[in-house]
Structure 1
Amino acid sequence: MHILHPIFIVIFIFLSFASYYEIFRLERKQSVFVWIAGILVIIAVGFRINVGADYPVYKMLFRDFSIYVNYGDVWDKAIFRPNTVEIEWIFVLLNKIIFDFGLPFYMVTFVMAVIAVSLKFTAIYKNVAFPTLALLFYFMPIMFFEDSGQMRQGIGIAICVASFKYIKERNLLMFLLCMYIALGFHKTAIIFLPAYWIVKIPMNKTRIFWVLILSLLASPFELYRLGGNLFSSMTPADISGAYTGYLDDRYYGTQVETGLNDIVKLIFIAILIRYDKDGCEEVWWYEYMRNLA
């Protein structure tokens, strides 16, 4: 039977204990718990070896980027000029700089972990009443899928999460800057672009219910494919291709089947509907986060 590496077990036990202590004993958030968890996660994720679905590919690309890609190619990618580089430009730039300084590959995973974890943990601490409980949900299983697996997606999501600060402040320029940086790590971050406006849509439990019903009725028509045409008309082909590429992907597109994840989502939606009024009255920025959920 496969079990977690001891460091991950330690993190899980620590977050479980800290969550209980923060909620039932202290009854207020504690930054020290977030700091300890963040440092442990960065060490575990940043210095891992041969762990994660994409680890072998990233390690191979680390060498190939420095051999076959120059800084001019990176610049062309950054300003959306036609080029042969398939991977996002900031990720390529990070790999090239670390390689050119003669540093080993684990410095790539370490730097990526520092950026992703610090952004996510900071946003969680600032926006959640009991952050260690939220970090426990993040740890199992999001950390393993994203920051310890598909690193580019993980850091792209981290930047999108961090951009919530500018959504709250209604600072469109800084939000768009965050989106541009997120796109530099993973092109699918483009899907978060409408978030700036979605948060302002007035919703309540009745509207949420009917939106779900209409979504279920419309699902056979695959209306999400219209998004590909929308992004194609608004963004460079390099970005819009990231959205359309996933639609027909063997693993992420139409071949995905219903499973346990969908059951969890239904439970989550039921909780949102049941406690929507309470959340609006008691949780800061609940309406924004609910709309994004």
Structure 2
Amino acid sequence: MIIYWSACFLSIALTWLVTRSYSIKGHEIQGRVYWFIAILLAALPFIYIAAVRYNVGADFQSYYKYYLRILGGRRYNVFTGLFTRERGQYEILYYLANLLIASLKLSAPWMLGFTVILFLMPVYKRIFDDSPYPCMSIYLLMAMGYYCYFLNGTRQMIGAAFLMLSIPFIEKKKFVPFLILVLIATGFHTTSIVFLAVYVIAYVNISVKAITVVTVIMFVFGNAFGSIANNFLSGLEYYSGYLTSSYAQRGQGYIVLAINIVLVAFATIYYQKDNKLYQIYYDIQVLALWAAALTGKIVLVNRYTITFGLFSIILVPMTLSGIKDQHTRRILGTAVIILCFIYATYTIGFQNSNTVLPYQTFWQAGIIQ
């Protein structure tokens, strides 16, 4: 895991540097070009190791071979008189991203680099704008496993990243740009469309007590909800195949469930009722908990645990920043850092979650690109 922690700490150092440079200037810099470069620089270590990796991530070969097919396979369309590349099984925007890089005749690492940029740039943008402790958020991106999950579930995490970009539009009640970003996210991964519900939930003003009651109901009647949902999904052509696959045999992830319970409890204890942005992130974390509670009961619902859970890398620092007692804030902040380090070491280092170990590059594998 040395390669991942090295990239993480280097990214943290670069983040500290660009934000410190910003404050040293003594005046506000509004230039979008500056912040684009600053975000890109801060994310660069993570971008690099994702771009040059080979056979790292459980789904690496699927994505790699898909790009090679698009890069090399061409089919003549008699109606348009043009050569086209088959889209295959993936969503339209992911296909177009592959097609764009392939049209430039670039090798696979360029495609891998482009996809990790599509993931990290929106995530870092939200971190820089919303997180009171950007360095902690970047640490949590790695320590909570989301970066390594991207190396496997690339399309899903790109979708989740664009969903993060929609947060300001929820806060400002601008539905059209929010909808556009959700549709872009859905263009990378179909499951992102469910995020439309977040806009409604954010303005229904559900009380914490009501959320607690619904959460208890979710746990008590989870099996019944699962049976109803799976019966519905069996009628959908896309999902029906998953009901008889290994995905349907996956049980409850108790560690992930416990983490989500702790996160919601922590955010509830220090709930910021006068902070609308905090409430939005809180509601999304509750959705992650509900999805975790239904994991093992509804096929593929664990994907929502991950998609919604990504937002916790900002919610946790926001919660800590709202704790008035400095001593308590430091103790809890230290506990978060240590516990997440242990979690990452166990799940990634020992269990090899998402098959991201051993890490190797194209050159180490003897493949010249």
Amino acid at match of 1:280: K
Shift in Å at residue 12 of structure 1?
A: 3.2
| Kept in 1: contact 2:12–2:42 (CA 8 A) | no
> How far apart in 2 are the matches of 1:286 and 1:169?
13
Is residue 50 of structure 2 the alignment partner of residue 45 of structure 1? yes
> How far apart in 2 are the matches of 1:119 and 1:71?
36
> How far apart in 2 are the matches of 1:67 and 1:18?
38
> How far apart in 1 are the matches of 2:153 and 2:137?
21
Amino acid at match of 1:92: Y
Match for residue 86 of structure 1?
89
Relative contact order, higher structure (CA 8 A, sep 6+): 2
SS state of the match for residue 191, structure 2? Answer: helix
| Kept in 2: contact 1:34–1:131 (CA 8 A) | no
Is residue 257 of structure 2 the alignment partner of residue 270 of structure 1? no
> How far apart in 1 are the matches of 2:100 and 2:38?
33
Q: What's the TM-score once normalised by structure 1's chain length? A: 0.75
Shift in Å at residue 247 of structure 1?
A: 6.1
Is residue 127 of structure 2 the alignment partner of residue 131 of structure 1? no
| Kept in 2: contact 1:90–1:185 (CA 8 A) | yes
Shift in Å at residue 246 of structure 1?
A: 5.7
What's the % identity of the aligned pairs?
Answer: 18
5+ residue gaps in structure 2?
24-34, 78-85, 286-369
Match for residue 194 of structure 1?
197
- What is the RMSD computed on CA atoms of the aligned residues? 3.3
Amino acid at match of 1:94: A
> How far apart in 1 are the matches of 2:219 and 2:76?
47
Is residue 168 of structure 2 the alignment partner of residue 144 of structure 1? no
Cα distance change of structure 1 residues 258 and 149 upon mapping to structure 2, 3 Å threshold: closer
| Kept in 2: contact 1:15–1:133 (CA 8 A) | no
Cα distance change of structure 1 residues 273 and 111 upon mapping to structure 2, 3 Å threshold: same
> How far apart in 2 are the matches of 1:224 and 1:130?
42
Is residue 113 of structure 2 the alignment partner of residue 110 of structure 1? yes
Match for residue 280 of structure 1?
273
| Kept in 2: contact 1:152–1:186 (CA 8 A) | yes
5+ residue gaps in structure 1?
73-82
SS state of the match for residue 142, structure 2? Answer: helix
Q: What's the TM-score once normalised by structure 2's chain length? A: 0.61
Is residue 211 of structure 2 the alignment partner of residue 216 of structure 1? no
Cα distance change of structure 1 residues 284 and 71 upon mapping to structure 2, 3 Å threshold: farther
> How far apart in 2 are the matches of 1:90 and 1:69?
19
Residue number among 8, 12, 15 corresponding to 1:12 in the alignment: 8
> How far apart in 1 are the matches of 2:166 and 2:109?
27
SS state of the match for residue 280, structure 1? Answer: coil
> How far apart in 2 are the matches of 1:267 and 1:158?
24
Cα distance change of structure 1 residues 176 and 207 upon mapping to structure 2, 3 Å threshold: same
> How far apart in 2 are the matches of 1:91 and 1:193?
20
Cα distance change of structure 1 residues 200 and 132 upon mapping to structure 2, 3 Å threshold: same
Amino acid at match of 2:65: M
> How far apart in 2 are the matches of 1:222 and 1:33?
46
> How far apart in 1 are the matches of 2:198 and 2:267?
18
Cα distance change of structure 1 residues 255 and 248 upon mapping to structure 2, 3 Å threshold: farther
